[in-house]
Chains A and B, each alone.
Chain A
Amino acid sequence: MTSKRFGVFIACILTWWSLSFSPRLFAQSPVENPPSQPSTPAQAQPGGPLPGQDSNQRPAQPSSLPGGVQPGQLPGPVLGLGSTPMAPPSPPTLKSGPPTLKVDKKDLDNGGTITVTGKGTPGQPVLLEVWSENDVRTSFFDSKKDKETGNIPYILYMTEAMPAYYRICVPSSLKGKLEDIKKQGGGWSYSQTLKDLGADAAYTIPGKIKIDRYQATLLGSIVGSRGDILPKMDDKENKKRSKQLIKARFRRPGQVLAPTVEIKPDGSYTAKVNIPDGAAPGKYYIAAIGDNHLRSEQITVENKTVFPNIYMPNAGTSLNIFWPFLLTLAVTMFGVLMGAGGGFILNPLLISIWPLPHTVVAGTVMPTVAFSQASGIYNYSKIKFISWKFGVVMGLAMLLGGFIGPKLTELITLDQFKFIFGWILIVLAGLMWWQTTPGYLDKNKKEQAILKEFKKRAEEAAMAKK
């Protein structure tokens, strides 16, 4: 019988499907607890920077290289150089003063371009650091093998304080370099980019945000806990991890770096700072960083968003709400027609069109369908069209799965999210295609006839009771 064969086929697809992504899941959720020591605030390491010396001021220092090992330092995740104080942005003992800073306007409506002018030391580059007062939650799961020890750390880094908008403006002469980095695609490294562009000095604000670390375990992931919280990182480690979080939040080099500072030979500069119309409302701060890491006073610019642009605090983006409304309307309508919830199409579209985190998209789309499901259940239950025993038993199995799934969402990156979702959609397309094959349609016709008959009887029975 063809239908039986098809059953086997579908079972194969489902098995393959669950297997083909499970290694991916296991790559994320630890099989065992790596025997890594938590990074302790380091004692003075031979070869480390001298106490009081500012590592920030020596960008070529090997200790600031990711994965770099100090001579004499033990291999392993002893990353801290706790004795090194966090760079206070402006060491004051220098002849030339910090760059000056002026803006052409202090109020913005739904974003806009601010022209910044000022004067720095002749012949020296000027950098601008721009950040917003509004912050968002960002997380990053470190499951990359440590090159030195071969251990996979399985640590979830999470912060509530990532600026919703963050950008460093670098001299326009670096445009070519930045373009090269953009060409690297998803594999770019933010900390390497900062170093290559000589923009390390401008990176201060996100380096100090509070970051929590959780040691993920397989068991923990199953019961849906984030794992044990690890001790606070020292400043240097915090700064290093904050750069990975920056990448997790802003994704592309063009989002966090702009080669817009035009510098004249006499040291004066102009820069255009663009706050896009999707940016968060509230205060924006701009500071200029010049020669010898001298930092100007920061200037505050106020951005207002006007209806229909509304800021979504968890997503960290403001949107013209009509677009997501229309998109949801169109997609869920189509979803009803094709017999699937809209989530399949809505989720990938939302993450592709707007800079929304995949966790927020998944977590917000899910409850939107709850109501229509509930009303469907109510309608079917009125005509006694639900096998409660069967539905509840299956539902309990789903309850367990649904408990675990949301935990896994934050353990995967956006790219992994897209990759797995892509395959899910291909399987779904296969199912849809199968439902248009003549064999299926034939069977379906009969079933629909029985379904109608049953419904009629059920409705009559319900009426008769009244």
Chain B
Amino acid sequence: MIVNFWGQEFRVNIILGCIGAFLLAIVASMFGFGGGPFMVPLMTVGLGLPMYVVVGSSLLAIFFNTVIGSTRHYQFGNFDLVFFLVMFPAAILAGFIAPQIAKRVSPVWVKRIACIGLLILALNLLGVY
């Protein structure tokens, strides 16, 4: 498939992309996360697209997953309205505050800290400690 972006053309192996997106969507909806951090490498490294094409389009793709995944979870009775109403405002609020903080911190350090945090959490989930 050829992706047009601001006059530039990119040739993309859409079959690989769709398979990757499909598998990612299963896992993401199963575990209830968005999947952005996996979608972006899939599009940049797997499909060879530059970052500026990917930022918006990856968001659009995972939005499909979020909508259908939420609907299905709702169908299966996995949605708790009260719990949602507690978390939702917090997520919105975070969306306003975070960009203000982002200007003041180094993204590389945030990622390094995240890396350690994720590993600690992962080991906890795997029952290592």
Chain A residues at the B interface, C-beta cutoff of 8 Å: 3, 6-7, 10-11, 14, 18, 21, 137, 224, 310-315, 319, 321, 324-330, 332-349, 352, 356, 359-377, 380-381, 384-410, 417-429, 431-433, 435-436, 441, 444, 447-448, 450-451, 454-455, 457-458
**Contacting pair B3 A387 (CB below 8 A):** yes
**Is there contact, CB below 8 Å, between A369 and B66?**
yes
Q: Is the interface of B mostly helix, strand, loop or mixed?
A: helix
B66:A387 contact, CB within 8 angstroms = no
**CB atoms of B72 and A410 under 8 A apart:** no
Q: Select B80's contact among A11, A312, A376, A448, beta carbons within 8 Å.
A: A312
Interface 1/0 per residue, B27-62 and A, CB below 8 Å? 111111111111011110110101111011111111
Number of interface residues of B (CB under 8 A): 103
Q: Assess whether B87 is in contact with A364, with CB atoms less than 8 Å apart.
A: yes
Q: A396-B64, A429-B119 provided; 6 other pairs, C-beta below 8 A? A: A328-B87, A335-B94, A364-B32, A373-B66, A394-B21, A451-B51
Instruction: Please list the residues of chain B having a beta carbon within 8 angstroms of any beta carbon in chain A.
Output: 1, 3-6, 12, 14, 17-38, 40-43, 45-46, 48, 50-53, 55-70, 72-84, 86-95, 97-99, 101-102, 105, 107-108, 110-112, 114-119, 121-127
Establish whether residues B25 and A405, one from each chain, have CB atoms under 8 Å apart when the complex forms.
yes
In angstroms, how far is the closest chain B Cβ from the Cβ of A457?
8
Query: From A383, which residue of chain B is reached at the shortest CB distance?
Result: B56
What is the CA–CA distance of A409 and B76 in the complex, to the nearest angstrom? 10
List, in ascending order, chain A residues with CB within 8 A of B84's CB: 364, 367-368
Q: Are A402 and B83 in contact (CB under 8 A)?
A: no
Known contacts A377-B56, A397-B22, A448-B51: does B30 contact A333 (CB below 8 Å)?
no
Q: How far is the CB of A29 from chain B (nearest CB, A)?
A: 11
How many angstroms from the CA of A261 to the CA of B128 in the assembled complex? 36
With beta carbons under 8 angstroms apart, the residue of A3, A313, A374, A419 that contacts B126 is A419
A418 and B26 CA atoms in complex are apart in Å by 16
